[in-house]
Amino acid sequence: MPKHGGGMPGYGGMNMNNLMKQAKQMQKQMEEMQTEMETKTLEITSGGGAVKVVVNGKKQIKELTVSKDVVDPDDVEMLQDLILSAVNEALRQMDELTKNQMSQLTGGMNLPGGLF
């Protein structure tokens, strides 16, 4: 079987050491990005600002503020809906921000989750 410049067939002549070096470098960059993302926060409101949610990069709710004007004992369901709306949007936007950061790091490669 012919040799391919010391590399593995299908890797365009790239040797395993270079491949491993690049993988370790990408892993380090991903770890740095994850650490950076953990410090980010997003503030989302619903109901025209009646409910405010602050979520961090770990997808933890750090703050939840409800305006007194929206608290109606006869319409608890509306308040619940406003809270759910704000929380779900905050988590969705944090997912999107994380996905965009990861895409920049990987150059758009569609890597499976948890690879690094």
Q: Note down pLDDT in tens along the chain; length 116 residues.
A: 445 445 455 555 568 888 888 888 888 888 888 888 888 999 999 999 999 999 999 999 999 999 999 999 999 999 999 999 999 999 999 999 988 888 887 775 655 555 44
Measured distance CA(107)–CA(41) in Å, rounded: 24
Measured distance CA(103)–CA(116) in Å, rounded: 14
Q: What is the pTM of this model?
A: 0.67
What pLDDT is stored for residue 11 in this prediction?
A: 53
What pLDDT is stored for residue 18 in this prediction?
A: 87
Cα of first residue to Cα of last residue in the chain, in angstroms, is 34
What pLDDT is stored for residue 89 in this prediction?
A: 96
What pLDDT is stored for residue 17 in this prediction?
A: 87
In 3D, which of 110, 89, 90 has the Cα closest to residue 99? Answer: 110
Fold classification of 16-106 is: Ybab; Chain: A; (3.30.1310)
What pLDDT is stored for residue 73 in this prediction?
A: 92
